[in-house]
């Protein structure tokens, strides 16, 4: 694990929010993105929950990868192990939030189980494994990707508030169709950032 | 209409995973700028969906409701690991190019969606067919998109150059935004076609998968 890529933490953080946004550049987490972004408040809740979960699981999975999977040479089982870790972290987080902040639990509770099967979480962890990040990089990459997802869903939810009441949209394109086109335009805008930071 | 042919028609068109259920556009969109990778991903998803549905349907009496979700994920990831190992052994370059997206088949919503909506309440044989049909229904849409993206983006199909040097590749087709646009356009065409077909047989019974309908509930 000495061959970690040589990138600064700040540029990695900004890159994972803007230039290689987990949703707009890598298409991860689109399913829940489209269905939840109908509602502004739920988007906020899910965004926070996803950011927390990705950040924490990235840290936990890095430790698991480094100290359990690699020494035992069981890389072929890594998908199953990561999935179990994600499910475990989500469950723990649910219990902790329920115990310490029932109000927050009421707001986030329904989203937490959904996150286990959100492809963005597993995607970030697999990217982390392939790119051989070291521990601080993994944590920053995790939180940055989550924040990027959060930013994207908030932007889309704000646009959709205006969009869904617009009658000029052709009937066949209403709902998912126009949402996808909007996401496409957002992706184009985010591609515009790519000259700023070049971290892959 | 027999049960199995209905399952097939539903998967391919009336309840197409992309057009009607709007599922699974997450990970696989990323590979549609290249026809060969798309084909591999589609085969992988079809294999995992059909075998996963078969297994989960066979086990459906044994799985306690509370831990159903985690059991589903574990069974599905078992099949995805098989795909990953096979790809690594026989197609190492493709496996490298696909990177994390092979592993991401696990969280492809189609797999979970079919396991939950169909395999949990149907016999194994029918569940297997349903997985197969949904895999194909998903596959043909993605292949059409991949043909457009690779042809306009690189001027080639399956990596073979088709047009001459005079052709200027559309860089946008290689990048992320075009995938969203093309899926939206495909959805638009499908919806219009459906609306027309519905208007044509007005008064007849509504088709199985009306747009916007929630997950299918078939007996």
Give the pLDDT confidence of B41-77 residue by residue, as tens digits: 889 889 998 998 899 888 888 888 777 778 888 888 8
Compute the mean pLDDT over every residue in chain B, rounded to the nearest whole number: 79
Give the pLDDT confidence of B157-192 residue by residue, as tens digits: 777 777 767 777 777 777 778 888 888 888 888 888
| List of residues 6+ apart from A97 with CB closer than 8 A | A104, A105, A108, A109, A112
Q: Are B195 and A29 within 8 A, CB to CB?
A: no
pLDDT at A58: 92
B1 band by pLDDT with thresholds 50, 70 and 90: low
**Alpha carbon of B122 to those of B15, B21, B136, B217: distances in Å?**
17, 19, 20, 11
Q: Are A130 and B184 within 8 A, CB to CB?
A: no
CA distance B153 to chain A (A): 16
pLDDT at A184: 86
Q: Are A25 and B176 within 8 A, CB to CB?
A: yes
pLDDT at A147: 92
Long-range contacts of B116-122 (CB under 8 A, 24+ apart): B116/B72, B116/B215, B117/B215, B117/B216, B117/B217, B118/B53, B118/B216, B118/B218, B119/B52, B119/B53, B119/B54, B119/B56, B119/B57, B119/B60, B120/B56, B120/B57, B120/B60, B120/B68, B121/B60, B122/B57, B122/B218
pLDDT at B203: 57
Q: Are A126 and B104 within 8 A, CB to CB?
A: yes
**Structural contact between residues B119 and B130, judged by C-beta atoms closer than 8 angstroms:** yes
B208 band by pLDDT with thresholds 50, 70 and 90: very low
B204 band by pLDDT with thresholds 50, 70 and 90: low
Half-sphere exposure of B110 (CA within 13 A, CB side): 34
pLDDT at B25: 72
Q: Are A122 and B103 within 8 A, CB to CB?
A: yes
**Structural contact between residues A63 and A142, judged by C-beta atoms closer than 8 angstroms:** no
Give the pLDDT confidence of B127-158 residue by residue, as tens digits: 888 888 888 888 888 888 888 888 888 777 77
In whole angstroms, give the CA distance from residue A41 to residue A115: 17
Q: Are B177 and A130 within 8 A, CB to CB?
A: no
Q: Is residue B218 predicted with pLDDT exceeding 60?
A: no
pLDDT at A143: 92
Choice among A81-90, B8-17, B33-42, B104-113 with the minimum mean pLDDT:
B8-17
- Using left for φ > 0, alpha for ψ between -120 and 50, and beta otherwise, residue A73 falls in left
Q: Are B70 and A87 within 8 A, CB to CB?
A: yes
Name chain B contacts of A194, Cβ cutoff 8 Å. none
In whole angstroms, give the CA distance from residue A28 to residue B29: 9
Name chain B contacts of A118, Cβ cutoff 8 Å. 107
Please tell me whether residue B97 adopts helix, strand or coil conformation: helix
The shares of helix, strand and coil residues in chain B, as percent rounded to the nearest 5, are: 70, 0, 30
Beta partners for B161?
B156
B210 band by pLDDT with thresholds 50, 70 and 90: very low
Chain A residues touching chain B at CB-CB below 8 Å: 24-31, 34-35, 76-77, 79-80, 83-84, 87, 113, 116-119, 121-123, 126-127, 129-130, 170-173, 175-178, 180-181, 183-185, 187-188, 191
CA distance B180 to chain A (A): 5
Q: Chunked in runs of 10, what are the mean pLDDT values of chain A (200 residues)?
A: 68 82 79 77 83 91 89 84 87 83 74 75 87 88 91 88 77 79 86 66
> Between B198 and A138, whose confidence is greater?
A138
């Amino acid at each position: 694990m000495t061959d970690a890529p040589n990138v600064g933490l700040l540029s990695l953080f900004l890159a994972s929010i803007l230039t290689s946004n987990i949703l707009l550049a890598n298409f991860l987490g689109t399913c829940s993105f489209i269905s939840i972004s109908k509602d502004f408040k739920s988007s906020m809740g899910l965004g926070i929950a996803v950011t927390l979960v990705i950040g924490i699981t990235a840290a936990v999975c890095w430790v698991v990868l480094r100290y359990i999977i690699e020494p035992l040479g069981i890389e072929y089982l890594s998908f199953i192990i990561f999935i179990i870790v994600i499910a475990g972290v989500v469950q723990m987080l649910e219990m902790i939030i329920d115990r310490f902040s029932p109000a927050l639990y009421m707001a986030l509770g329904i989203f937490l189980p959904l996150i286990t099967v959100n492809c963005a979480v597993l995607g970030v962890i697999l990217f982390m494994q392939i790119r051989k990040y070291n521990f601080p990089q993994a944590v920053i990459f995790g939180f940055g990707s989550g924040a990027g997802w959060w930013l994207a869903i908030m932007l889309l939810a704000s646009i959709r508030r205006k969009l869904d009441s617009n009658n000029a949209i052709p009937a066949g394109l209403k709902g998912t169709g126009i949402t996808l086109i909007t996401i496409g335009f957002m992706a184009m805008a985010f591609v515009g950032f790519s000259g700023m930071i070049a971290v892959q | 209409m027999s049960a199995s042919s209905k399952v097939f028609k539903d998967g391919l068109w009336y309840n197409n995973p992309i057009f009607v259920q709007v599922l699974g556009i997450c990970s696989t969109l990323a590979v549609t700028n290249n026809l060969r990778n798309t084909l591999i991903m589609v085969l992988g998803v079809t294999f995992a969906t059909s075998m996963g549905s078969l297994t989960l349907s066979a086990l459906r009496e044994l799985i306690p409701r509370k831990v159903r979700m985690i059991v589903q994920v574990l069974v599905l990831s078992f099949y995805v690991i098989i795909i990953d190992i096979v790809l690594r052994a026989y197609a190492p370059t493709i496996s490298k190019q696909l990177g994390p997206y092979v592993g991401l088949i696990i969280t492809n919503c189609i797999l979970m969606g079919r396991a939950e909506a169909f395999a949990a309440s149907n016999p194994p044989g029918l569940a297997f067919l349903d997985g197969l049909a949904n895999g194909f229904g998903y596959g043909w849409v993605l292949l059409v998109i991949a043909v457009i993206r690779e042809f306009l983006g690189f001027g080639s199909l399956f990596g073979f150059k088709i047009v001459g040097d005079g052709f200027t590749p559309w860089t946008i087709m290689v990048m992320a935004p075009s995938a969203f646009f093309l899926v939206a356009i495909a959805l638009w065409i499908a919806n219009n076609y459906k609306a027309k077909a519905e208007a044509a047989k007005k008064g007849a019974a509504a088709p199985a998968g009306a747009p916007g309908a929630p997950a299918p509930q078939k007996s």
